[in-house]
Structure 1
């Protein structure tokens, strides 16, 4: 090897060690940064024309990656966020059941009403007990009104959160577009693009929190993003995600769909609906879970009106009419076994039995809230109990037909149906909480595994720094040796 070749080899080694030192310093500085991946210098041997080694060449900076673990993290994050939103929504709906000791569930309130009717039936001439029964009936109607507002409030909150999520998705897609442009240009020019790739991965991870995604890396370093259902979110440029919020929610109100580049990805018209991510959890809550629970409350209200309805006592064959409980469509009784959307929000006490509205407490015992033909105790006997006993039986023993589309047994007693509704909600909460716990563990373990593979180990970096220091010293000695040889050569020709 000539002295000039040796000198070039030593110089290239010194330059490479300098870049390696800077890269290790960069790793140490970024060790605690979220999403930072370990960087390493790619080196290759320079071969001279004679076929001998002529030093080292820096081919670029590489980053540690594990595409399998990264894709697993994206998927686990999307599923976890979907379940988190669903669990949070179910917790809001659980405000209709509350602490069992408070007895604030519809089923518990029906139990209280039954107890007050039983007390009044024991002393049917006692006006104080009649007032207690009326008060309990008012509480029952008001509870269903209140819970309808709570459920629709939960739907409105979910709708607002959907809007915020859509805005976040568009923001992240804009960031990814900018980073993708930098990466593609840097890839073709040979620039260091590892930091931009780290930032893009972090943006993709944040995007996976909002909607389930899959990615495809192109030969030029660019990325294509699809939803978990296959709709394109990004390819060269970001697609527009659009959503029109709903101003207010009532029972029966349908929330608007989410569109990606004009393609619906939620709602009944979605051919390729998303199945994970925050958007999925929120739309499931708004359009399915909360709607089903509202329907159950509406059926409880319909069952109440039906159970307390009065029948024609004259034999004239008149239709049953609303009794103690009535509604916006009264005095007619809602069709049996058929859901009437929003009924729990409009159920109320019949004014004819409420002294505060000009009514009479005696009608609780005697009937006749629907008119003279519906009086059960025409003689007004103070000890009459048949009508009160009939109410108790109608609540507790009589099997009724409920709408089969509300997710519960369509044939049950009124109290049994109300109890089943509470059980349905609590079972959903329990299942959702268990899923959240499992998914949280999966996300944590996957993130840790990815960090162990691609992250920075400070002990390893310091060890490498010592190795580079020794290699740098060796290259420096070679430069010194060449310098002496050249000096000796110059001295010999003088």
Structure 2
């Protein structure tokens, strides 16, 4: 090998080591940046016209990646966010409504009403005890009214969060489209697109938190994204994700669906339904959990109106559909928000509790008449038939049904909590595995830096030696 060729090889090696050092410095600088993957300079050999080696150069910059782990991370993120959103919704319902031991619980207030009736039944002539029954009945009606309002408020909140989630999805799809264009063009030109690919992966993860997705990479690192159910979300360009928010909810309100490229994927008319992502959890709260609990509240209200009826007409408890009582075992949507104490009963007419409103049970006006009160207590102790849409026992006393309702909500919340905890553990493990496979290890980078430094020193010494040899040749020649 001639000295000129040796010098060329040494110079290329020196330049290559400098670029490798720059890549290592880049890794170390960004080691703690979320989503950054380890970069590696790929070294190739230069060849002269006769095919012999003529030095080295950086042919490309690659990044550490593990597609299987990344796909698992995307999936785990979607499942975890769905679980968290569903748990949050159930927790809000539980916190607002309470349990059987709290005064705000329908079951607890019903117990207070029964106690007041029992006390009044023992002394039917006591107007103070009659007033306590009226107060307990008013509390019962307002508790159901408030609980119904709380349920619908939670549905409204879930609906608003769905709208925010859809906005986030469209924002991330726009980011992905811009980055994907940059990556495809850069790959075709042989440019370093590794940072853009890191950024695109982060956008994909952010997208997966909102909606369950699947990804596929084509030639030139071109990305395709579909929902987990197969609806196209991104191919060269982002598809539109739409949702029409409903501002006010009642028990009969049906929320709108989330649509991807016009196809409903979450909501009442979904043809290709998603099961994961934050949107899936919010829709489950809005359309399933909250609706089921509302049905239970409505059936409690119907049970009260039925138990306190007077020969087929509404008695102490009434509603806008009165005076006829609701049909047995049939759900009346929104009845919990509609139930009220009969306007005929007030502090000046407390005796109507004892004697009847539409039916005169005490025609002789006996102050000690207690048969009607005992009949009401008996009605509360009788089994009723409740609608199947309540999700709990359909045959029970009103008290047992109210207690089962609270138990159902708490059981649902506890199950959601267990699921969310398990998914959190899974996500943490997958995240750690992905980070170990693709992240930057400072110790390894520093070790590589020392190796490059030694190589750089040896190359520099080689150049110095060649320079000395050329000087000696020049002296001999001249």
For the criterion TM > 0.5, the same-fold answer is: yes
Partner-residue secondary structure (3-state), 2:392: coil
Q: Hey, what does 1:78 align to over in structure 2?
A: 78
Contact 2:101 2:108 in 1 (8 A): no
Partner-residue secondary structure (3-state), 1:351: coil
Contact 1:400 1:413 in 2 (8 A): yes
Q: Hey, what does 1:314 align to over in structure 2?
A: none
Once residues 3 and 277 of structure 1 are traced to their aligned partners in structure 2, the CA distance between those partners, rounded to angstroms, is: 64
Is residue 224 of structure 2 the alignment partner of residue 224 of structure 1? yes
Q: Mapping of 1:219-368 within 5 angstroms?
A: 219-311=219-311, 320-355=312-347, 360-367=349-356
Q: Hey, what does 1:157 align to over in structure 2?
A: 157
Once residues 427 and 284 of structure 2 are traced to their aligned partners in structure 1, the CA distance between those partners, rounded to angstroms, is: 22
Contact 1:96 1:105 in 2 (8 A): no
Contact 1:137 1:349 in 2 (8 A): yes
CA distances 1:300-320 after superposition (whole Å, capped 9, x unpaired) = 000000011011xxxxxxxx1
Partner-residue secondary structure (3-state), 1:215: strand
Q: Mapping of 1:65-464 within 5 angstroms?
A: 65-98=65-98, 100-311=100-311, 320-355=312-347, 360-367=349-356, 369-370=357-358, 374-395=359-380, 397-464=381-448
Contact 1:74 1:205 in 2 (8 A): yes
Q: Hey, what does 1:317 align to over in structure 2?
A: none
Once residues 275 and 324 of structure 1 are traced to their aligned partners in structure 2, the CA distance between those partners, rounded to angstroms, is: 45
How far apart are residue 363 of structure 1 and its match? 1.2
Once residues 284 and 235 of structure 1 are traced to their aligned partners in structure 2, the CA distance between those partners, rounded to angstroms, is: 29
The alignment covers a number of residue pairs equal to 478
Partner-residue secondary structure (3-state), 1:59: strand
Gap regions ≥5 residues in structure 1:
312-319
CA distances 1:271-324 after superposition (whole Å, capped 9, x unpaired) = 11111011111111111110111011000000000011011xxxxxxxx10001
Q: Hey, what does 1:46 align to over in structure 2?
A: 46
> What TM-score do the two structures reach when normalised by structure 2?
0.98
How far apart are residue 489 of structure 1 and its match? 2.1
How far apart are residue 452 of structure 1 and its match? 1.2
Once residues 151 and 268 of structure 1 are traced to their aligned partners in structure 2, the CA distance between those partners, rounded to angstroms, is: 18
CA RMSD in angstroms, aligned pairs only:
1.2
How far apart are residue 54 of structure 1 and its match? 2.6
Once residues 165 and 55 of structure 1 are traced to their aligned partners in structure 2, the CA distance between those partners, rounded to angstroms, is: 54
CA distances 1:46-81 after superposition (whole Å, capped 9, x unpaired) = 344555433212111111111111111111111111
